[in-house]
Amino acid sequence: MSLKTLGQFIIEKQNDFPYAKGELSRLLRDIGIAAKIINREVNKAGLADILGEYGAENIQGEAQKKLDVYADEQFIEALTKGGECCYVASEEHEGGIDLSRHSVSKNGKYIVCIDPLDGSSNIDLNVSVGSIFSIYRRKHTDRPITMDEVLQYGSEQVAAGYVIYGSSTMLVYSTGKGVNGFTLDPSIGEFCLSHPEMQIPLDGKTYSVNEGNYLKFPQYIKDYIKYCQMEDSETNRPYTSRYIGSMVADLHRTLIIGGIFLYPETQSYPQGKLRLLYECNPLAFIIEQAGGKAVSGVERILEIKPTHLHQRTSIVIGSKHMVEKVEEFYAGHEEQVTLPSLRKV
């Protein structure tokens, strides 16, 4: 039996969006094309002069890798040529990129937020990295785009997904009607449906957090980590600790086998460190569509109102029952949730 390709699947599902008239389908295909090109370079990174530092910093103050810049260029080129996207917000640029000034994109109906290469600090070490994308529909096409149109709630996403470049390359996405995963078949150069109707288990046996920051975590996160480490046969504890350092890779594992990923607020980042628009919102959209849950600790990720392109947030995301347990710990400390001093552990 032949496998269904990403292009075939998108066309079949096009009727789910009668207002789109094919534009969203073409936009998703454009993203798939960029992902194939990036995958090619990632897979030959050890052979080509594309490893190491680019020699500049992005807006986050992080050193850019050569592949960061390359991936960003590929996405922007694909979205510009495709003509369906009118605006791009990228981790690698301080301001957004208004594509509506280009003749081919002047009538574009979609806004795309991207993290072109998540986990790129691992690329020199041959560890899985990924790309994250989030798509919003324009509210007004008869006037110049405004920042209010860009800064929409995560719940208003019309599509979101990620690509993971690892032992195999997968594109996982949702248009709000479930989650489907496609594996790249290098023999034909096509993403083929391999993981239909993905569902995250309600519980899991792994927790993922950078425990090197333990002393800087708020007390409710510390208490939850201790809970994960305590032995209890009824709840299959202790849990196993797994932390890759690439959010896409950690979330992909969590989606497949269940578990929880935590990136809480710390003394250094009291609002959290991960970016809302192009990391947390799209991955929260995916996890919720698969039956999981994503919160900041205080509120649902998809209900946070963005105020600027590079807004940061804390996040707790994964299997529904595990996230709800963290919320219980938060509720127990709610009246005293403050970032701990280094002396209080």
Q: Are 190 and 5 contacting, i.e. CB atoms less than 8 angstroms apart?
A: yes
Omega before 238 within 30 of 0, i.e. cis: yes
Distance CA 283, CA 294 (A): 9
Residue 173 makes CB contacts below 8 A (sequence gap 6+) with 28, 159, 160, 161, 162, 179, 180, 286
Distance CA 235, CA 28 (A): 40
Give the residue numbers of the binding site: 91, 115, 117-121, 210, 243, 273, 279
Q: Are 118 and 282 contacting, i.e. CB atoms less than 8 angstroms apart?
A: no
SS (H, E, C) 41-76: HHHCCCCCCCCCEEEEECCCCCEEEHHHHHHHHHHH
Give the residue numbers of the binding site for substrate: 118-121, 210, 243, 273
Distance CA 135, CA 159 (A): 5
231 burial via Cβ count (<10 Å: 0-12, 13-18, 19+) = exposed
Residue 27 makes CB contacts below 8 A (sequence gap 6+) with 79, 82, 84, 85, 110, 112, 135
**Total Cβ atoms within 10 A of residue 52:** 13
Q: Are 306 and 152 contacting, i.e. CB atoms less than 8 angstroms apart?
A: yes
Give the residue numbers of the binding site for Mg(2+): 91, 115, 117-118, 279
Helix (H) or strand (E) holding 150: helix 147-150
Per DSSP, 9 falls in state H
